[in-house]
Amino acid sequence: MFEQNVDDLEGRIEDTINESLEQWLPYVTADEIDIESTDELRDNNKLNVSIKFRIGEDINLETLTFTVQG
């Protein structure tokens, strides 16, 4: 988050989230990870992250949305 906001930052964040889920919450599957990084958000050192996920074999899709500020 404290690195410059370069083009591959969103991909690296997505990879980090997936790797962390695999390590710490292997029963959680992220179906979709959306990272919003508008000019206004970048100017304030923020990112909006939304994760759509399933727990275990549950067919219900849950969504977690949060803002990260660095």
As a whole number of angstroms, the distance between CA 52 and CA 44 comes to: 25
Give tens-digit pLDDT for 15-50. Answer: 999 999 999 999 999 999 999 988 899 889 999 999
Provide φ and ψ at 39, rounded to 5°: -60, -45
Taking the alpha carbons at both ends of the chain, their separation in whole angstroms is 6
Give the pLDDT score at 42: 86
| Residue 7's pLDDT band (cuts 50, 70, 90) | low
- Between 10 and 49, the higher pLDDT residue: 49
CB 13 within 8 Å of CB 35: yes
Taken in order of first residue, the domains within the chain and their CATH numbers are 9-69 (3.10.450.40)
- Between 70 and 28, the higher pLDDT residue: 28
